[in-house]
Amino acid sequence: MGYFKAMNYWTIGGFEGEKSPYQAIDDVKKMGLDGLELIFGECPKEDITEEECKNIVKYAEDKGIGLKTLATGFYWRSSLSSDDTAERERAIEFTLNYIKVASWLKVDNILVVPGAVDVAWDESRPVTSYKNVWDNSTNSLKKVLKTAEEYKVTICIENVWNKFLLSPIELKIFLDQFNSEYIGSYFDVGNILLYGYPEHWIEILKDKIKAIHFKNFHRDDCGGTLHGFGEDLLKGDVSFGKVMKELEKIKYTGPITAEMIPFSKLPDLVLPDMKLAVKTAEGLIDLLENRNYPENTKTVNKTTLF
């Protein structure tokens, strides 16, 4: 079974969108990958035209590169679950445009952060009650779902460090309430390690999973910090053998995108990092084509509690 292998733009283009989509497409082509995940709001910008999108699509098609997913960092500053009505409306308007541009780029799936109880790395962001996050996010997503259905673009809810939807059963219930094939899970195997095991989530979510991020994470004692996200896809606490076994069980055929942001390098993290990108591409190909699954390099420090 062949998997669609892609890379997230941030690693090869940086956080400011300084590299053109055309150069990024060339980069992933040279690395032997199948696709590129662009970042809406950075590359491309929010005001991109339909004509510009057509040019990008043609260029990618000519190079044999697929654009199956689109991601964004927007929702950390404007949330679909905010208690502030004006902020929620900004997030809704952004999402409607996000869906439209995705359709212009012939993208099937967009990554959406549904809401957040807090943003742990940004103390300026408010804490929102769990109940309100659920209610506000649900109402906001209902306002954009019809547009997603019209454009045939799937809203993919990412499991991310937002203190929300913390179990696979809960995420499934959240998704089921919309009763639509155009909302699903963007499953990140590295993010989940803070509070679970990716193979357990895959077993429960099954066909709710529409897109997947691969990264790795080193746990520390009972949890971890952003520094747990290292610079080697193959080193960390993800048991890729178990992950791939579960993906095969559910007959997953969607994209698998490497999203490597080595927070372990903070405060000196600098992207783009083409050396990291090439190394990551080689690791992803080794995993998905050669089925060369590394041993779980578990690094939990053993602590005596009593």
How many domains would you assign to the chain? 1
Give pLDDT tens digits along the chain (306 positions): 589 999 999 999 999 999 999 999 999 999 999 999 999 999 999 999 999 999 999 999 999 999 999 999 999 999 999 999 999 999 999 999 999 999 999 999 999 999 999 999 999 999 999 999 999 999 999 999 999 999 999 999 999 999 999 999 999 999 999 999 999 999 999 999 999 999 999 999 999 999 999 999 999 877 889 999 999 999 999 999 999 999 999 999 999 999 999 999 999 999 999 999 999 999 999 999 988 888 654 544 433 333
Q: What is the CATH number of the domain that holds 46?
A: 3.20.20.150
Q: How far apart are CA 191 and CA 35, in angstroms?
A: 22
For the chain, the residue count is 306
In a domain, 105, yes or no: yes
Look at residue 202 and tell me if it is in a domain: yes
CA atoms within 13 A on the CB side of 234: 16
Nearest Cα neighbor of 11 from 218, 284, 276 is 276
Write out the chain in H/E/C secondary structure. Answer: CCCEEEEEHHHHHCCCCCCCHHHHHHHHHHCCCCEEEEECCCECCCCCCHHHHHHHHHHHHHHCCECCEEECCHHHCCCCCCCCHHHHHHHHHHHHHHHHHHHHCCCCEEEECCCCCCCCCCCCCCCCCHHHHHHHHHHHHHHHHHHHHHHCCEEEEECCCCCCCCCHHHHHHHHHCCCCCCEEEEEECCHHHHCCCHHHHHHHHHHHEEEEEECCCCCECCECCHHHCCCCCCCCCCCHHHHHHHHHHCCCCCEEEECCCCHHHCCCCCCCCHHHHHHHHHHHHHHHCCCCCCCCCCCCCCCCCC
Predicted confidence at residue 250, as pLDDT, reads 97
Report yes or no on 82 lying in a domain.
Answer: yes
Phi, psi of 293 (to 5 degrees): -90, 120
pLDDT at 255: 98
Q: Which tokens sit at 61?
A: 């098609």
Residue 299 domain flag:
no
Range of the domain at 21: 4-288
Q: Tell me, what's the pLDDT at 296?
A: 58
Sign of CA dihedral 40, 233, 264, 213: positive
Residue 302: inside a domain = no
Residue 295 lies in a domain: no
End-to-end Cα spacing for the chain: 49
Q: Domain for residue 294, yes or no?
A: no
Burial of 51 (0-12, 13-18, 19+ CB in 10 A): exposed
- 305 is a domain residue: no
Angle subtended at Cα 208 by Cα 178 and Cα 198, rounded to the nearest 5 degrees: 130
